[in-house]
Amino acid sequence: MKIVMLGAPGAGKGTQAERLASEYGLPHISTGDIFRKNIKEGTELGKEAKSFMDAGRLVPDELTVRILLDRVADDDCKKGYILDGFPRTIPQAEALDSELEKLGEKIDFAIDVDVPDENIIKRMSGRRACPRCGATYHMQHVPPKKDGVCDECGTELVIRDDDKPETVKNRLAVYHEQTQPLVEYYRKKGVYHTVDGTADVGAVFDSIRSILG
C-alpha cells in the first residue's frame, strides 16, 4: 500500500502519517529526512544533492526522485510506504509515477488532509516555543502554566518565524500555486481522497482508516 499525504503546511498531515505508519507497519518517508541521511552518510546521491543545496539552489526533481526511489527500494518498504512532503509539484508526481511504472508499481492512495487557510493561520500563530530548551506549546490547545513562560525552564516563550502569520500566509500561497494542483492530478488517477482536517486528530485518523479499508 503506497500512500501520498497531501495538505497545506500546518494541516496535520505529518501527524497523521506517523499514526498511519504505526498502525499499518509502514515506513513514514519524509524527503527532508532522506536528504539529511544521505548527506550525513556521504553517499553519492547525498553529495550530489549537497552541491545544489550549498549553492542555494533547489535540488532538481530528477535527483529528488532518484533519492526517493533509492529509499523505497529498502526491505522495510516491501509492504508499502507513506510519503510525506513529496511530491510537491506536478512534474515531481509525473517523474515518480514514471519510475514506479517501470517497476510495475503505482501510488494507491493520495490522502488530502483539508483545512481552510484561516484555520491554519490561527492554528500556527498560536504556537509558542522556548528558545532555551526547545519545549513547544499552543496557546489554545497546550498552553503553558504561566502565560508566556516555559514550564520547563522559566524562559520567555517566542513565536518562531515559521509560525508568524505573514510567513504562514506566504507558505500557503506557495502551496496553493505549486502543490494544490496535485489534487486534480490524483483525482484523474482515481486515487484521490479528502478528509476534514478541522476535526480532532483521532477523528481525522478514523476517516483515513475507513478510506484505506
The CB-side HSE value for 143 (13 A sphere, CA atoms) comes to 6
Rounded-to-integer distance, Cα 183 and Cα 190, Å: 11
Residues in the chain where the model's pLDDT stays below 70: none
Q: Find all residues with CB under 8 Å of 177, minimum gap 6, and list them.
A: none
Give catalytic residues, as residue numbers.
Answer: 13, 88, 127, 160, 171
C-alpha cell at 94: 509525473
DSSP code string of 26-78: --EEEHHHHHHHHHHHT-HHHHHHHHHHHTT-PPPHHHHHHHHHHHHTSGGGT
Q: What is the pLDDT of residues 151-200, one digit of tens each?
A: 999 999 999 988 899 999 998 998 999 899 999 999 999 999 999 999 99
What homologous superfamily is domain 2-27+74-115+176-212 in, according to CATH?
P-loop containing nucleotide triphosphate hydrolases (3.40.50.300)
Query: What is the predicted pLDDT for the residue at 17?
Result: 95
Q: What's the one-letter identity of residue 184?
A: E
Global pTM reads 0.84
Query: What is the predicted pLDDT for the residue at 201?
Result: 93
